[in-house]
Chains A and B, each alone.
Chain A
Amino acid sequence: MTTNIQDSPRTALSNPPVQPGQSNLGQPAVRRSSAGGPVAEQPTPLTEVAKLIDVSKCIGCKACQSACIEWNDTHPEIETNVGVYENPHDLTPEMFTLMRFAEYDNPDNGNFEWLIRKDGCMHCEEPGCLKACPAPGAIVQYTNGIVDFIHENCIGCGYCVSGCPFDIPRISQKTHVAYKCTLCSDRVAVGQGPACAKACPTHAIVFGTKEDMKIHAAARIEDLKSRGYENAGLYDPPGVGGTHVMYVLHHADKPGIYNDLPEDPQISPVVEGWKGPTKTVGLAAIGLAAVGSVVMGLFSRSAVADEDEHQAQEMVDRAAAGLPVDPIPGREQV
């Protein structure tokens, strides 16, 4: 028996269905696709989902990293310790999420804080990667907001790396395609929460509709404020149209202290310039130049006259005869 999951985002808290399900993601739910790739004419209307990471509940245990490795069957390298807790040292094509640890002396109250943030794809409403991608259909956005890399369409150019305001995609040197968190689109498609949320022992990671996650976040923020974190807040940056991975931060006024979480992320104007005017103006200029030169070529030319041949002949002959071939008097010399 299969269950048809029309639209049922689940939180990792609830017990997900155990029957095999039909995926509700895939081409019919694609609302946006890179480089003019195919989008569904009338995409399946799914409720917007979001993963909420409550930094104040996170204990940095890396269960999410572990679950991510297991579910996606990746094989991060066994590296060294370089004097910090982060391992692997950065996001890699084999590590889609990473706990980042920041040691922070709070100047307001003199307390020390250890800020631990789970880094990974934010699933922007306006994805910079998708904007930058030159390969049609290599990056898609589903109607529930998940931004997914379709690896068979990816050409490994790395433009998504430049496009992303959060420094997330990584290009594999083995397969030469880009990788990042998929928000477990393959799990969400059949009604399960993302693997990281499932594994998180303290429910610091929860998953559900974006609306529900905002409500959940509001309660958390209220709790944090009651504990003296006056600037507690939700990180759902409007610069990228909001994100489908959001943070509850105790210091929402200073996202930078959480290992450089961007204050106001947006698609870089440089990328906008490249993918906007440059693309169109450049193509137009080249087209005009090509057409213009053809047209001009049809109406005019510069041809050699018989007189020129004659003069040349004369010069060569004179020279052969040992006569001077100085310039003709009267012709301006510079």
Chain B
Amino acid sequence: MARRVYSEPGDRIVSTAPVAVNRYRGWTRLNHWITAASLILLALSGFALFHPSLYWLTGLFGGGQTTRWIHPFIGIVLVASFVLLFLQLVKYNIMRREDLVWARRFRDVVSGHEDRLPELGKYNLGQKFIFWGMFWLILVLIVTGIMVWEQYFGGLVTIPTRRVAILVHSISAVLILLVFIIHVFAAIWTRGTLSAMTTGNVSGGWAWRHHRKWLRELAGRQKVDPAE
């Protein structure tokens, strides 16, 4: 069996004419969408308590009391879900030397001159940034969130600590939403990406253009697949 560096075990070329590549297995996609849904619900419920002008959002949850009650539990769901995602994908999100070059030539990324960029594995630095950004911010949010989770952890920390916690929680929430926006934007801006999380597949051209090392590894692996 060929060495697997850039791809998950489930990643594979699913058709050759035209080339279609499976980027995410079904349950990874489910995992992703649970995470995404949690984050959106957290954003909505968090927004409701973040700024008075958005308090009306509590209506989506059945009122302020429910919003207050449900927000931390969604947070727990998010963390659990994200942990699973994290375990699956962390290996491919480790920084590599080509990421530095990619970063240096970010202008080419934006202007579409990808031929000037190094070949990449499953993720580019932008995607890794999203991954690690989410990781750290979720970590901070859950820790500070627990500190201010009145119902179960009311006396856990002192009031001054609690004040800092709630400030950090708010700032982190803003940041994670910025990360989230970039994530969504990039997925849409880079055409051909969304299908990876819907059908699970991307076109061969997409893989060739953006993640050639990943495609090459999959292509190389296909020849030893006796079933093909």
Q: Which A residues lie at the B interface, using CB under 8 A? A: 35-36, 134-136, 153-159, 161-162, 164, 167, 171, 173, 176, 268, 270-271, 273-274, 278-279, 281-283, 285-286, 289-290, 293, 296-297, 300-313, 315-322, 325, 327, 331-334
Nearest-neighbor residue (CB-CB) of A164 within chain B: B159
A320 with B228, Cβ < 8 A, contacts A158-B148, A173-B151, A306-B205 known: yes
Contact (Cβ within 8 A) B220 A309: no
A176 with B65, Cβ < 8 A, contacts A156-B151, A161-B150 known: yes
- 16 A-B interface contacts by CB (under 8 A): A156-B65, A161-B159, A162-B148, A173-B151, A268-B163, A281-B174, A293-B182, A301-B190, A303-B191, A308-B209, A310-B205, A315-B216, A320-B228, A322-B223, A325-B219, A334-B118
Q: Point out which of A159, A273, A334 has the most chain B C-beta atoms below 10 A from its C-beta.
A: A334
Q: Which residues between 14 and 58 of chain B lie within 8 Å of chain A, taking CB atoms?
A: 16-19, 48-53, 55, 58
Contact (Cβ within 8 A) A312 B166: no
A162 with B166, Cβ < 8 A, contacts A155-B65, A155-B67, A312-B205 known: yes
Contact (Cβ within 8 A) B219 A296: no
| Shortest Cβ-Cβ A-B pairs, 9 listed | A312-B204, A158-B150, A308-B205, A309-B205, A155-B64, A282-B174, A293-B185, A319-B219, A312-B208
Q: Which B residues lie at the A interface, using CB under 8 A? A: 13, 16-19, 48-53, 55, 58, 63-65, 67-69, 96-98, 101, 109-110, 112, 114-115, 118-119, 148, 150-151, 154, 159-160, 162-164, 166-167, 170-171, 173-174, 177-178, 181-182, 184-185, 188-192, 203-209, 212, 215-216, 219-220, 222-223, 228
A278 with B216, Cβ < 8 A, contacts A161-B150, A167-B159, A313-B18 known: no
- Looking at the complex, which one of A282, A307, A334 makes contact with B171 (CB distance below 8 Å)? A282
B225 to chain A, nearest CB (A): 10
- Looking at the complex, which one of B17, B48, B189 makes contact with A313 (CB distance below 8 Å)? B17
A308 to chain B, nearest CB (A): 3
- Looking at the complex, which one of A134, A153, A171, A289 makes contact with B181 (CB distance below 8 Å)? A289
Bound Cα distance A316, B18 (Å): 10
Bound Cα distance A39, B218 (Å): 65
Contact (Cβ within 8 A) B209 A305: yes
Bound Cα distance A253, B119 (Å): 71
Q: Which residues of A contact B114 (CB under 8 A)?
A: 302
Q: Which residues of A contact B63 (CB under 8 A)?
A: 155
Q: Which residues of A contact B208 (CB under 8 A)?
A: 308-309, 311-312, 315
A268 with B160, Cβ < 8 A, contacts A297-B185, A304-B203 known: yes
Contact (Cβ within 8 A) B167 A270: yes
B185 to chain A, nearest CB (A): 4
Contact (Cβ within 8 A) B191 A135: no
- Looking at the complex, which one of A158, A303, A325 makes contact with B216 (CB distance below 8 Å)? A325
Bound Cα distance A309, B115 (Å): 14
Contact (Cβ within 8 A) A278 B119: no
Bound Cα distance A268, B164 (Å): 10
Q: Which residues of A contact B53 (CB under 8 A)?
A: 36
Contact (Cβ within 8 A) A308 B52: no
Q: Which residues of B contact A304 (CB under 8 A)?
A: 191-192, 203, 205-206, 209
Q: Point out which of A171, A278, A283, A320 has the most chain B C-beta atoms below 10 A from its C-beta.
A: A278
- Looking at the complex, which one of A155, A162, A173 makes contact with B163 (CB distance below 8 Å)? A162
- Looking at the complex, which one of A268, A283, A313 makes contact with B19 (CB distance below 8 Å)? A313
Q: Which residues of B contact A171 (CB under 8 A)?
A: 150-151, 154
- Looking at the complex, which one of A135, A273, A281 makes contact with B167 (CB distance below 8 Å)? A273
Bound Cα distance A289, B182 (Å): 8
Contact (Cβ within 8 A) A158 B154: yes
Bound Cα distance A135, B219 (Å): 57
Bound Cα distance A290, B182 (Å): 9
Contact (Cβ within 8 A) B150 A157: yes
Bound Cα distance A156, B110 (Å): 47
B28 to chain A, nearest CB (A): 22
Q: Which residues of A contact B171 (CB under 8 A)?
A: 278, 282
Bound Cα distance A297, B185 (Å): 7
Q: Which residues of B contact A281 (CB under 8 A)?
A: 174
Nearest-neighbor residue (CB-CB) of B15 within chain A: A316
4 A-B pairs besides A286-B181, A309-B204, A325-B216 with CB distance below 8 A are A156-B68, A268-B163, A312-B215, A316-B16
